[in-house]
Amino acid sequence: MIRGVTRVFLGMTLILGLLLLASPGYAQETIDIEGQVLNGTLDADAPQGLTVTLEVFKSGESLETRETVADDQGHFLFAGVVGGENHGYIISAEYGGVTYTYESDYPLPSEPVDLVVYESTSSSEAIRVAGHTLMVGWAESKSRLMTVFELVSLENTGDRTFVPDITTGGPMDILRFSLPTTASELDVRSSLQEGQLIQVGAGFALLVPVPPGGHELHYTFVVPYEDGKMPFTHSFPLGADVFRVLLLQDLGQVSGTGLQEVEPLLFEDGIYQQLVAEGLEAGAKLTLEFTGLPQQSSWQRWRDAMPGGDLALWAVPGVFGLALLALLAYVLLRRGKLARTRSSAREGEGQDPATIEDMARLDDQFQRGELGREEYLQRRRELREKLLRQGGPPAPP
């Protein structure tokens, strides 16, 4: 009798479970995503027939990818898309060799999505640096190395995407950034698309499209110092509305020409000395002098010279990482997704970085007056032809 009751109970439970799963409250939710591709460049024609891609994610994992073609007015529709909590969506389209995206978590706005694309320009005149911060929160006496973190807030104030054109006949118009001549272990990350990173003089440059609006870039590097000092002439190829230098007070002091000391800042790992300069023009240079940096005592140097002494291993402490996070919050980064800038990308496939670097060095020599105009133009023409044979990108429309 008990067995019969058990079978009836289990049977009713199974039926009830199936009914619940079949009910609307337990069904997988689906949504329709409607939108329009718009041209954000003034007086430019609306793009037609672009392929629009939808990527669906749940908790960071890709679920599916779809494609559709926008009509003559730029309208597109993805019907029956899976939705629900922890879902995310990336809608993208390529226009003029640049990929434009729209990103949203679930639920999407009730109104149609606007996917904005732009015409391109090879001029960087609309690119400005709204803010540039240099931060030092770690230095080690034994290795006499310090880690530098720099954060740059870029803004394209125009209505065209800046696309560097390295095949032009004159000096290259590219995004350049300064480094000490002794810097190593450079790591660059940005909210921009992936692109090429090349060495230019004592610094580096990014060959990456910059759409209208705000963007963030940060990079870290390691630099040695001697006798507790490290001088650094920092150049600003793009200028900067505000340049800020932060040094953990326990590590030493920093001074510089054209910089004013202001109120210190308090982060998780301590108090930071703060210097500020404003209104730096494109091409400006400031000389920084770090002094009083950690040094080993005579006893420490003698101990390290003995067999079995501590190995010369070093790493950035976790507290400095906390300070970096605090700095990101302090300057109010507008984008959370930071993508590593790789040394090669689809935009520059087939190009030899050495050729690009040769062109950059040639431009620098000409600007310093080390080359005559005729020699410069001849050598640059040869490098340009070599680059084009390697599959360099066409000039922007």
Query: What's the mean per-residue pLDDT of the chain?
Result: 80
Give the pLDDT band of residue 370 (cuts 50, 70, 90).
confident
pLDDT at 396 over 80: no
Q: pLDDT for 119-159, tens place per residue?
A: 999 999 999 999 999 999 999 999 999 999 999 999 999 99
Q: Are residues 326 and 375 in the same domain?
A: no
11 assigned to some structural domain: no
* 59: containing domain: 29-118
Whether residues 169 and 275 fall in one domain: yes
Alpha helices by DSSP H, the chain? 2-22, 298-305, 318-330, 353-367, 373-389
In terms of domains, do 326 and 260 share one?
Answer: yes
User: What is the predicted pLDDT for the residue at 372?
Assistant: 73
Q: Determine contact, residues 178/148, Cβ cutoff 8 Å.
A: no
Q: Is there a single domain that holds both residue 217 and residue 250?
A: yes
Per residue in 40-93, pLDDT (tens digit) is 999 999 898 999 999 999 998 999 999 999 999 999 999 999 999 999 999 999
C-beta separation of 110 from 95 below 8 A:
no
Looking at the fold, whether 62 and 145 belong to one and the same domain comes out as no
Dihedrals phi, psi of 4, to nearest 5 degrees? -65, -40
Q: Give the side-chain half-sphere CA count within 13 A for 353.
A: 14
- 157 φ/ψ sector (left φ>0, alpha ψ -120 to 50, else beta): alpha
Residue with more model confidence, 228 or 357:
228
Cα–Cα distance measured from residue 65 to residue 132, given in angstroms and rounded to the nearest whole number? 38
Q: Distance (Å, rounded) from C-alpha 40 to C-alpha 290?
A: 45
Q: Looking at the structure, do residues 371 and 236 belong to the same domain, yes or no?
A: no
Instruction: For residues 224-232, give the mean pLDDT.
Output: 96
**For 236-269, what is each residue's pLDDT tens digit?**
999 999 999 999 999 999 999 999 999 999 988 8
pLDDT tens-place string over residues 278-333: 999 999 999 999 999 999 765 455 455 545 444 333 344 455 555 565 555 554 44
Query: Pick from 118, 148, 166: which residue ends a domain?
Result: 118
pLDDT on residue 310: 42
Q: Does residue 3 lie within any of the structural domains?
A: no
User: Are 268 and 356 members of one domain?
Assistant: no
20 neighbors 37 (Cβ within 8 angstroms):
no
Counting residues of the chain whose pLDDT is more than 70, the rounded percentage is 69
Q: Are residues 95 and 131 located together in one domain of the fold?
A: no
- Where residue 243 sits, what CATH number does that domain have? 2.60.40
